[in-house]
Copies of this chain bind each other. A is one copy, B any other.
Amino acid sequence: MNRQIILKSRPTGMPAVTNFELAETHMPSPEEGELLVKSLYISVDPYMRSRMSDAKSYVPSFEVGKPMDGGVVAEVIESNHPDFVVGDAVLGHLQWKVIQTINAQHVTKLDKAVQLSYYLGILGMPGLTAYFGMNEIGKPVAGETVVVSGAAGAVGMVVCQIAKLKGCRVVGIAGSDDKTAYLKDVLKVDEVINYRTEKDMKAAIERTCPDGVDVYYDNVGGAISDAVFSNINKFARIILCGQISLYNSTEVPVGPRPQPLMVKKSALMQGFIVSNYSARFGEGIHQLAQWLGDGKLAYQETIVDGFEKLPETFIGLFHGKNTGKFLVKM
Protein backbone atom coordinates (compact mmCIF):
# COMPACT_ATOMS: atom_id res chain seq x y z
CA MET A 1 0.00 0.00 0.00
CA ASN A 2 1.07 3.62 -0.66
CA ARG A 3 0.68 6.64 1.62
CA GLN A 4 -0.13 10.34 1.08
CA ILE A 5 -0.82 13.43 3.14
CA ILE A 6 -3.90 15.36 2.17
CA LEU A 7 -5.22 18.78 3.14
CA LYS A 8 -8.21 17.89 5.30
CA SER A 9 -9.40 21.41 6.07
CA ARG A 10 -8.21 24.98 5.60
CA PRO A 11 -6.61 26.50 8.70
CA THR A 12 -7.76 29.71 10.36
CA GLY A 13 -4.65 31.40 11.66
CA MET A 14 -1.87 29.03 12.69
CA PRO A 15 -2.18 25.63 10.93
CA ALA A 16 -2.68 22.55 13.12
CA VAL A 17 -1.87 18.91 12.47
CA THR A 18 -5.63 18.34 12.35
CA ASN A 19 -5.73 20.31 9.08
CA PHE A 20 -3.85 17.39 7.52
CA GLU A 21 -4.58 13.70 7.16
CA LEU A 22 -2.24 10.81 6.56
CA ALA A 23 -4.13 8.46 4.25
CA GLU A 24 -3.53 5.29 2.34
CA THR A 25 -3.72 5.41 -1.42
CA HIS A 26 -3.32 3.01 -4.30
CA MET A 27 0.03 2.04 -5.78
CA PRO A 28 0.12 3.66 -9.23
CA SER A 29 1.78 2.30 -12.33
CA PRO A 30 3.52 4.53 -14.86
CA GLU A 31 2.22 4.99 -18.39
CA GLU A 32 4.30 5.62 -21.49
CA GLY A 33 6.67 8.56 -20.89
CA GLU A 34 6.14 8.41 -17.15
CA LEU A 35 8.33 7.45 -14.23
CA LEU A 36 7.43 5.70 -10.99
CA VAL A 37 9.31 7.54 -8.25
CA LYS A 38 9.80 7.13 -4.52
CA SER A 39 10.20 10.29 -2.45
CA LEU A 40 13.57 10.75 -0.73
CA TYR A 41 13.36 14.34 0.61
CA ILE A 42 10.23 16.47 0.82
CA SER A 43 10.52 20.23 1.29
CA VAL A 44 8.39 22.31 3.63
CA ASP A 45 8.36 26.02 2.83
CA PRO A 46 6.68 29.09 4.32
CA TYR A 47 4.98 30.01 1.02
CA MET A 48 2.86 26.87 1.34
CA ARG A 49 0.84 28.58 4.06
CA SER A 50 -0.77 30.91 1.55
CA ARG A 51 -1.65 27.94 -0.64
CA MET A 52 -3.64 26.48 2.26
CA SER A 53 -6.14 29.33 2.12
CA ASP A 54 -8.46 29.83 -0.81
CA ALA A 55 -7.52 33.47 -1.36
CA LYS A 56 -6.05 34.24 -4.78
CA SER A 57 -2.27 34.21 -4.68
CA TYR A 58 0.69 33.81 -6.99
CA VAL A 59 0.44 30.06 -6.74
CA PRO A 60 -2.78 28.03 -6.90
CA SER A 61 -4.39 26.99 -3.64
CA PHE A 62 -4.15 23.43 -2.36
CA GLU A 63 -7.48 21.64 -2.69
CA VAL A 64 -9.21 20.23 0.35
CA GLY A 65 -9.27 16.44 0.14
CA LYS A 66 -6.32 16.36 -2.26
CA PRO A 67 -2.66 15.69 -1.43
CA MET A 68 -0.34 18.56 -0.64
CA ASP A 69 2.49 19.18 -3.11
CA GLY A 70 5.82 20.98 -3.36
CA GLY A 71 9.51 20.43 -3.99
CA VAL A 72 10.54 16.77 -3.73
CA VAL A 73 13.74 14.86 -4.46
CA ALA A 74 12.84 11.31 -5.49
CA GLU A 75 14.39 8.14 -6.79
CA VAL A 76 13.25 6.45 -9.99
CA ILE A 77 11.98 2.95 -9.22
CA GLU A 78 10.48 2.25 -12.63
CA SER A 79 11.04 4.11 -15.92
CA ASN A 80 8.94 4.29 -19.06
CA HIS A 81 11.12 7.01 -20.55
CA PRO A 82 14.40 6.37 -22.40
CA ASP A 83 16.31 9.17 -20.61
CA PHE A 84 15.83 7.71 -17.12
CA VAL A 85 16.86 4.46 -15.49
CA VAL A 86 16.02 2.91 -12.15
CA GLY A 87 18.12 4.50 -9.44
CA ASP A 88 18.23 7.96 -11.01
CA ALA A 89 17.58 10.84 -8.64
CA VAL A 90 15.14 13.51 -9.81
CA LEU A 91 13.84 16.87 -8.60
CA GLY A 92 10.24 17.84 -9.25
CA HIS A 93 7.16 19.59 -8.03
CA LEU A 94 5.50 16.46 -6.69
CA GLN A 95 2.75 15.40 -4.37
CA TRP A 96 3.20 14.51 -0.72
CA LYS A 97 3.13 10.78 -1.47
CA VAL A 98 5.58 8.02 -0.75
CA ILE A 99 5.30 6.73 -4.31
CA GLN A 100 3.81 8.41 -7.37
CA THR A 101 4.01 8.57 -11.14
CA ILE A 102 5.18 11.65 -12.97
CA ASN A 103 5.64 12.66 -16.59
CA ALA A 104 9.40 12.44 -17.16
CA GLN A 105 9.39 15.89 -18.79
CA HIS A 106 8.31 17.44 -15.49
CA VAL A 107 11.37 16.40 -13.50
CA THR A 108 15.08 17.22 -13.62
CA LYS A 109 17.70 14.50 -13.34
CA LEU A 110 20.12 15.24 -10.50
CA ASP A 111 23.88 14.79 -10.12
CA LYS A 112 24.19 12.18 -7.40
CA ALA A 113 27.72 13.37 -6.57
CA VAL A 114 26.03 16.25 -4.76
CA GLN A 115 24.19 15.76 -1.45
CA LEU A 116 20.69 15.28 -2.92
CA SER A 117 18.85 17.32 -0.29
CA TYR A 118 20.81 20.41 -1.39
CA TYR A 119 18.62 20.57 -4.51
CA LEU A 120 15.74 21.58 -2.23
CA GLY A 121 17.87 24.20 -0.48
CA ILE A 122 21.04 25.95 -1.41
CA LEU A 123 21.02 24.62 -4.99
CA GLY A 124 17.25 24.90 -5.28
CA MET A 125 14.45 27.32 -4.68
CA PRO A 126 15.73 28.90 -1.43
CA GLY A 127 19.27 29.39 -2.76
CA LEU A 128 17.97 30.93 -5.98
CA THR A 129 15.60 33.14 -3.99
CA ALA A 130 18.54 34.47 -2.01
CA TYR A 131 20.69 34.89 -5.12
CA PHE A 132 18.22 36.72 -7.35
CA GLY A 133 16.67 38.82 -4.59
CA MET A 134 20.08 40.11 -3.56
CA ASN A 135 21.51 40.59 -7.04
CA GLU A 136 18.47 41.93 -8.86
CA ILE A 137 16.80 44.01 -6.14
CA GLY A 138 19.27 44.50 -3.29
CA LYS A 139 22.31 45.23 -5.47
CA PRO A 140 24.60 45.39 -2.43
CA VAL A 141 27.81 47.37 -2.73
CA ALA A 142 30.97 46.66 -0.72
CA GLY A 143 30.94 48.58 2.53
CA GLU A 144 27.17 48.88 2.75
CA THR A 145 25.18 47.59 5.72
CA VAL A 146 22.85 44.69 4.92
CA VAL A 147 20.22 43.54 7.44
CA VAL A 148 18.66 40.12 7.02
CA SER A 149 15.55 38.96 8.89
CA GLY A 150 14.94 35.23 9.17
CA ALA A 151 18.71 35.12 8.80
CA ALA A 152 19.05 31.52 10.00
CA GLY A 153 16.42 30.21 7.61
CA ALA A 154 16.99 28.44 4.31
CA VAL A 155 16.98 31.70 2.34
CA GLY A 156 18.41 34.01 5.00
CA MET A 157 21.60 32.07 5.60
CA VAL A 158 22.46 32.19 1.91
CA VAL A 159 21.62 35.89 1.78
CA CYS A 160 23.97 36.60 4.70
CA GLN A 161 26.83 34.83 2.98
CA ILE A 162 26.26 36.44 -0.42
CA ALA A 163 26.32 39.83 1.32
CA LYS A 164 29.61 38.92 3.04
CA LEU A 165 31.06 37.75 -0.30
CA LYS A 166 30.15 41.17 -1.72
CA GLY A 167 32.10 42.89 1.05
CA CYS A 168 29.13 44.17 3.03
CA ARG A 169 28.66 44.59 6.77
CA VAL A 170 25.94 42.05 7.67
CA VAL A 171 23.49 42.10 10.57
CA GLY A 172 21.44 38.92 11.01
CA ILE A 173 18.17 38.73 12.93
CA ALA A 174 17.01 35.34 14.21
CA GLY A 175 14.88 33.89 16.99
CA SER A 176 17.20 31.87 19.27
CA ASP A 177 20.67 32.07 20.77
CA ASP A 178 21.63 28.88 18.94
CA LYS A 179 20.73 30.51 15.66
CA THR A 180 22.52 33.77 16.37
CA ALA A 181 25.58 31.78 17.49
CA TYR A 182 25.48 29.88 14.20
CA LEU A 183 25.21 33.13 12.24
CA LYS A 184 28.12 34.67 14.07
CA ASP A 185 30.43 31.66 14.42
CA VAL A 186 29.84 29.77 11.19
CA LEU A 187 28.49 32.33 8.73
CA LYS A 188 30.71 35.12 10.12
CA VAL A 189 28.05 37.83 10.03
CA ASP A 190 29.18 41.02 11.75
CA GLU A 191 26.32 41.49 14.21
CA VAL A 192 23.34 39.45 15.35
CA ILE A 193 20.05 40.23 17.06
CA ASN A 194 17.85 37.66 18.83
CA TYR A 195 14.43 39.24 18.32
CA ARG A 196 12.84 37.01 20.96
CA THR A 197 15.06 38.21 23.80
CA GLU A 198 15.80 41.73 22.55
CA LYS A 199 13.64 44.21 24.46
CA ASP A 200 13.89 47.16 22.07
CA MET A 201 14.33 46.13 18.45
CA LYS A 202 14.60 49.71 17.22
CA ALA A 203 17.47 50.37 19.63
CA ALA A 204 19.07 47.08 18.61
CA ILE A 205 19.02 48.11 14.97
CA GLU A 206 20.53 51.49 15.82
CA ARG A 207 23.21 49.81 17.93
CA THR A 208 24.15 47.21 15.31
CA CYS A 209 23.81 49.55 12.30
CA PRO A 210 25.57 52.76 13.35
CA ASP A 211 25.82 53.83 9.71
CA GLY A 212 22.17 53.03 8.97
CA VAL A 213 20.68 50.29 6.79
CA ASP A 214 21.37 50.24 3.05
CA VAL A 215 19.83 46.89 2.14
CA TYR A 216 17.17 45.01 4.07
CA TYR A 217 16.40 41.46 2.97
CA ASP A 218 13.04 40.83 4.58
CA ASN A 219 11.83 37.30 5.19
CA VAL A 220 9.53 38.00 8.11
CA GLY A 221 7.70 41.36 7.97
CA GLY A 222 5.74 42.88 10.83
CA ALA A 223 7.26 44.58 13.87
CA ILE A 224 10.81 43.40 13.10
CA SER A 225 10.63 45.14 9.75
CA ASP A 226 9.24 48.30 11.35
CA ALA A 227 12.34 48.46 13.54
CA VAL A 228 14.75 47.95 10.63
CA PHE A 229 12.81 50.42 8.57
CA SER A 230 13.21 53.22 11.08
CA ASN A 231 16.94 53.27 10.41
CA ILE A 232 17.15 53.10 6.60
CA ASN A 233 19.55 55.26 4.66
CA LYS A 234 18.93 57.33 1.56
CA PHE A 235 18.52 55.06 -1.49
CA ALA A 236 17.87 52.00 0.73
CA ARG A 237 16.66 48.84 -1.01
CA ILE A 238 14.14 46.63 0.76
CA ILE A 239 13.77 43.15 -0.70
CA LEU A 240 10.41 41.64 0.17
CA CYS A 241 10.99 37.93 0.00
CA GLY A 242 8.58 36.64 2.62
CA GLN A 243 6.42 37.86 5.46
CA ILE A 244 6.32 34.74 7.60
CA SER A 245 5.27 36.67 10.72
CA LEU A 246 2.05 37.68 8.95
CA TYR A 247 1.12 34.49 7.12
CA ASN A 248 -1.12 33.23 9.89
CA SER A 249 -2.88 36.57 10.48
CA THR A 250 -6.64 36.24 10.51
CA GLU A 251 -7.12 39.97 9.88
CA VAL A 252 -5.39 42.37 7.50
CA PRO A 253 -2.12 43.21 9.28
CA VAL A 254 -1.89 46.88 10.22
CA GLY A 255 1.24 48.86 10.99
CA PRO A 256 3.02 52.16 10.51
CA ARG A 257 2.76 53.25 6.90
CA PRO A 258 6.18 52.99 5.23
CA GLN A 259 5.44 55.43 2.41
CA PRO A 260 6.30 58.79 4.03
CA LEU A 261 9.75 57.57 5.07
CA MET A 262 10.27 55.99 1.68
CA VAL A 263 9.72 59.38 0.05
CA LYS A 264 12.12 61.05 2.48
CA LYS A 265 14.76 58.38 1.89
CA SER A 266 14.22 57.76 -1.84
CA ALA A 267 13.89 54.13 -0.80
CA LEU A 268 12.91 51.18 -2.94
CA MET A 269 10.80 48.24 -1.79
CA GLN A 270 10.17 45.33 -4.11
CA GLY A 271 8.36 42.06 -3.74
CA PHE A 272 9.27 39.07 -5.88
CA ILE A 273 8.99 35.36 -6.26
CA VAL A 274 11.85 33.30 -7.52
CA SER A 275 10.00 32.09 -10.61
CA ASN A 276 10.22 35.65 -12.00
CA TYR A 277 13.82 34.73 -12.75
CA SER A 278 13.25 31.18 -14.02
CA ALA A 279 14.91 31.92 -17.36
CA ARG A 280 18.14 32.52 -15.42
CA PHE A 281 18.05 29.64 -12.93
CA GLY A 282 21.01 27.99 -14.68
CA GLU A 283 23.21 31.02 -14.00
CA GLY A 284 22.15 31.08 -10.36
CA ILE A 285 22.70 27.37 -9.72
CA HIS A 286 26.07 27.53 -11.44
CA GLN A 287 27.25 30.41 -9.22
CA LEU A 288 25.90 28.88 -6.01
CA ALA A 289 27.45 25.49 -6.81
CA GLN A 290 30.78 27.16 -7.53
CA TRP A 291 30.78 29.06 -4.23
CA LEU A 292 29.75 25.88 -2.45
CA GLY A 293 32.50 23.87 -4.14
CA ASP A 294 35.06 26.55 -3.30
CA GLY A 295 34.08 26.39 0.36
CA LYS A 296 32.79 29.96 0.27
CA LEU A 297 29.27 29.03 1.35
CA ALA A 298 28.42 27.17 4.53
CA TYR A 299 25.11 25.41 4.59
CA GLN A 300 22.89 23.81 7.18
CA GLU A 301 19.73 21.73 7.11
CA THR A 302 17.31 20.55 9.74
CA ILE A 303 16.16 17.13 8.55
CA VAL A 304 13.24 15.32 10.18
CA ASP A 305 12.90 11.60 9.64
CA GLY A 306 9.57 10.08 8.62
CA PHE A 307 6.94 10.84 5.98
CA GLU A 308 4.23 11.09 8.64
CA LYS A 309 6.11 13.99 10.27
CA LEU A 310 5.43 16.33 7.32
CA PRO A 311 2.51 18.24 8.91
CA GLU A 312 4.25 18.98 12.21
CA THR A 313 7.48 19.85 10.39
CA PHE A 314 5.64 22.31 8.18
CA ILE A 315 3.95 23.89 11.22
CA GLY A 316 7.35 24.05 12.92
CA LEU A 317 8.45 26.61 10.31
CA PHE A 318 6.18 29.18 11.94
CA HIS A 319 7.68 28.47 15.36
CA GLY A 320 11.26 28.77 14.14
CA LYS A 321 12.05 25.08 14.80
CA ASN A 322 14.57 24.98 11.96
CA THR A 323 18.04 26.30 11.42
CA GLY A 324 18.58 26.43 7.69
CA LYS A 325 16.53 24.40 5.28
CA PHE A 326 13.72 22.37 6.87
CA LEU A 327 13.18 18.97 5.21
CA VAL A 328 11.54 15.63 5.77
CA LYS A 329 13.49 12.53 4.85
CA MET A 330 11.85 9.21 4.11
Contacts and interface: CB of A to CB of B under 8 A. Distances in A.
Interface of A: 50, 57-58, 218, 221-222, 225, 234, 240-243, 246-247, 252-273, 276
A157 to B, nearest CB: 20
Contacts of A240: 259, 262-263
10 contacts: A58-B265, A221-B260, A222-B257, A253-B256, A253-B260, A254-B254, A255-B255, A263-B273, A266-B271, A269-B269
Given A246-B257, A254-B254, A254-B255, 16 more contacts: A50-B264, A218-B259, A221-B257, A225-B259, A241-B263, A252-B256, A252-B257, A253-B257, A253-B260, A258-B258, A263-B271, A266-B270, A267-B270, A268-B269, A268-B270, A269-B269
Contacts of A222: 257
A213 B57 CA distance: 16
A243 B252 CA distance: 22
Given A270-B267, A271-B264, A271-B265, A257 B259 contact: no
A234 B222 CA distance: 22
A257 B254 contact: yes
B272 A263 contact: yes
Q: Which of A253, A264, A267, A273 has the largest number of chain B CB atoms within 10 A? A: A264
Contacts of A242: 263
Contacts of A221: 257, 259-260
Contacts of A234: 58
**Most chain B beta-carbon neighbours within 10 Å: one of A242, A253, A254, A260:** A260
B269 A273 contact: no
A219 B41 CA distance: 50
Given A58-B234, A234-B58, A262 B255 contact: no
Contacts of A266: 58, 270-273, 276
B272 A259 contact: no
Contacts of A258: 258
B243 A263 contact: yes
A245 B246 CA distance: 27
A220 to B, nearest CB: 10
Contacts of A271: 259, 261-268
A290 B256 CA distance: 42
A269 B262 contact: yes
A171 to B, nearest CB: 19
A103 to B, nearest CB: 27
Contacts of A241: 263
Contacts of A247: 260
A140 B173 CA distance: 37
A58 B261 CA distance: 10
Which 3 A-B residue pairs are closest in the complex by CB-CB distance? Answer: A262-B271, A263-B271, A268-B270
A154 to B, nearest CB: 16
Listed residue (A50, A261, A264, A271) with the most chain B CB atoms within 10 angstroms of its CB: A271
